[in-house]
Chain A
Amino acid sequence: MQTNREESEKILHSCLDLILTGQETLDSVLARYPEQADMLRPQLESLLWLRNINQELDPRPGFVAASRRRLVAKIQQERVAERVEDLAPKSGFFSLFLSRRFATPLIVALVLLISFYVASNGLNLDSQNAIPGDRLYAVKIIFEKAALAFSRDHASDAELRVEFTHRRSEEIYRLVAEGRYEFIPETVKSFENEVGQTIISLNQVASQNDDQARQIAGELEDYLNHQRAILAGLIQNAPVNAGPAIAAAIQASVKGSRDARGVGSGSPPTSTLIPPPRPTEPPAPTPTPRPTSTRPPVWTPTSAPTETPEPTSTRPPTHTPWPTSTPSPEPTDTPRPAPTDTPAPTNTATETPTPTSTETPTPTYTVTPSPTYTATPSPTYTAMPTSTDTPTPTPNNTVTPTTTTTAIPGGVNTPVPMDTAVPMRLYP
């Protein structure tokens, strides 16, 4: 019986393939199996209808790729949260060795240390792939700030800044490639800021070690030159509204290259950003003078107390007379001073010459012919492999069906809402 069904299903599908590939029509294929034509026709008609509608059920173009990104970002976010939870004071480790009072600051310190370790060693942390608009992008920026906060000296600062300049550029490329144009202006601003900060750091390095500063500046300049070529290619492929932002990035890159070239040559950077003050050495403690021993107090003898005399009797008070009123003099009028004329001011102002503006030449950017940007091809979808190695179900996988609809003979009946089922779940 089952073999017959398998056989008929095989015939059904081979007929369907012939029809779908356009090799045969429904009638011609049924003519091949005259004995089973009555059984095959309704089945094939239903199947064909379903197959035709199948394509309309596909997700929107781009949905899978976009939601994959969202899903992976969400998973990474959950994992970070789990890691932090694992370090929480409730865990056995902390409750064994520390009180809750000290555990929280220690966790914070540990997280900072891990952040520093991860960022400064260039490990491929999950968040490092994030670009503006991704949920993990904020984490990426926090890691960068942590790395800067823990950097040893100006040279380390400068190297990190160069790395972050790379990252901002990469983010711009990816935003263009993925069509997320709304985030480009913000990222270009970050790029400009990063270039400015890098130059500041480089000048600080130059004040201590000119050769090292020139070396890092050279790397930055090379990178910016390369980056401009890519940006010039991108601007041609990007939509019109993304053009100004990319052009601004090119301008910032030009300026960055020029400033990088000037590092160590004594010329001040053109950046208007004020360098953040690095912590200065605390003043050395000056020795406080040791207290000299003071002389012990010398006892000075005082004269012996003299005997106090006994009080003598006082006389009773005599009657005092009441005061008599004395006449006060009448007020006299005081003459008011007459107003005097004040002299009019003389016009003594001298004309000051107006400054003449000298026009500073604006740098002109010439787009060098560049390799055209080619978008990285998205991975092609590979068809779901047929499960040739499907193992036989293990007996313990008995899943209680989620719907408790009872089968009604005849096939066609009124629908039963799915939410009437009370499932016993083995699956989430």
Chain B
Amino acid sequence: MPVWEDIDDAQVLQLAQDGDPEAFGELYERYAKFIFRFLYSHLYDRLDAEDLTEEVFLRAWRTLPNFRQQGVPFVAYLYHIARNAMIDHHRRSRHTSQDVSIEDGLVINSNSNPAETATNNLEHLELRKLLVQLRDDYQEVLILRFLSELSPDETAQAMDRSVGAVRVLQHRALAAMRKILVKNQIV
């Protein structure tokens, strides 16, 4: 069993592409958090986001032989899959952001303090309420850049835009976000 901490992403990816499930598990450990954040930012239900996170990586594993390391960065590749998985999820469940009530969005989390859980969910709901007032591409750039913490290059790859276009979009999205924050008396 290799010491994963000593192996960089490209090597782990190569091992996974060679068919090593444990190496792919390591990639999951490294990227799952960011994909989860991306999905949870778009969804109301934490459990849906958890299920979809696993689904995204399973899809990635199945198509891994087609992935070329010198092409799109792996993280951008994952975001493409995540976006498609989310669209499929919406199709399946017919859940739109408008028809989910606050009660539906509150997920009971037995692993943590109930008060903390409720607070977390309220903040998440607040985020969702604000984000849905933004254009889709504004939502996307804000989520990728500041919630999933992708670099401008990675965001550009994930959004199929140039880096310059991403910077412009980000600037406008932050300004639009500020207007909504003011309108909702949050800042």
Q: Give residues in A with beta carbon < 8 Å to B.
A: 2, 5-6, 8-9, 42-43, 45-47, 49-51, 53-54, 56-65, 67-72, 74-76, 79, 126, 379-382, 384-387, 390-391, 393-394, 397-399, 401-403, 405, 407-408, 411-419, 421, 423, 425-428
Contacts and interface: CB of A to CB of B under 8 A. Distances in A.
A50 B72 CA distance: 27
B79 to A, nearest CB: 9
Nearest to B56: A428
A390 B70 CA distance: 8
Interface residues of B, number: 93
A74 B25 CA distance: 11
Nearest to B116: A56
Contact of A53 (B53, B61, B71, B123): B123
Interface in B111-147: 111-112, 120, 123-124, 126-127, 132-138, 142, 146-147
Q: Which of B34, B136, B168 has the most CB of A within 10 A?
A: B136
Contact of A418 (B72, B90, B134): B90
A428 B84 contact: yes
B103 interface: no
Contact of A60 (B111, B151, B186): B111
B15 interface: no
Nearest to A62: B111
Interface of B: 4-5, 8-9, 19, 21-22, 24-25, 28-34, 36-37, 40-42, 46, 50, 53-54, 57-63, 70-73, 75, 77, 80-81, 83-84, 86-87, 90-91, 94, 96-98, 109, 111-112, 120, 123-124, 126-127, 132-138, 142, 146-147, 149, 151-154, 157, 159-160, 164, 167-168, 170-181, 186-187
A347 B149 CA distance: 99
A387 B73 CA distance: 8
Given A64-B33, A382-B30, 19 more contacts: A9-B167, A45-B187, A57-B41, A57-B147, A59-B50, A60-B50, A67-B53, A71-B57, A379-B29, A380-B5, A384-B149, A391-B70, A399-B160, A415-B134, A416-B136, A417-B97, A418-B87, A423-B87, A427-B84
27 contacts: A9-B170, A42-B174, A42-B175, A49-B181, A57-B37, A57-B41, A57-B127, A59-B53, A63-B50, A64-B32, A65-B29, A68-B32, A71-B24, A72-B25, A379-B5, A384-B34, A387-B73, A402-B83, A411-B135, A411-B179, A415-B98, A415-B132, A418-B136, A419-B90, A419-B91, A427-B81, A428-B63
Contact of B167 (A5, A385, A391): A5
A330 B41 CA distance: 114
A418 B151 CA distance: 24
Given A45-B178, A411-B134, A67 B50 contact: yes
B5 A50 contact: no
A5 B167 CA distance: 7
Contacts of B170: 9
Contacts of B29: 64-65, 68, 379, 381
Q: Which 9 A-B pairs give the minimum distances between C-beta atoms? A: A411-B176, A42-B178, A419-B90, A427-B80, A46-B177, A428-B59, A415-B132, A72-B25, A75-B21
A126 B24 CA distance: 14
Contact of A61 (B87, B111, B134, B136): B111
A5 B165 CA distance: 10
A385 B36 CA distance: 17
A2 B25 contact: no
Contacts of B123: 53, 56
Given A57-B147, A63-B50, A425-B84, A385 B172 contact: no
Nearest to B51: A67
B160 A398 contact: yes
A241 B112 CA distance: 21
Given A47-B174, A379-B29, A394 B70 contact: yes
A59 B90 CA distance: 21
Contacts of B136: 403, 405, 415-416, 418
A390 B75 CA distance: 11
A387 to B, nearest CB: 5
Contacts of B36: 57-59, 63
Given A399-B160, A427-B80, A5 B171 contact: yes
Given A407-B137, A428-B59, A72 B22 contact: yes
Contacts of A46: 174-175, 177-178, 181
B180 A412 contact: yes
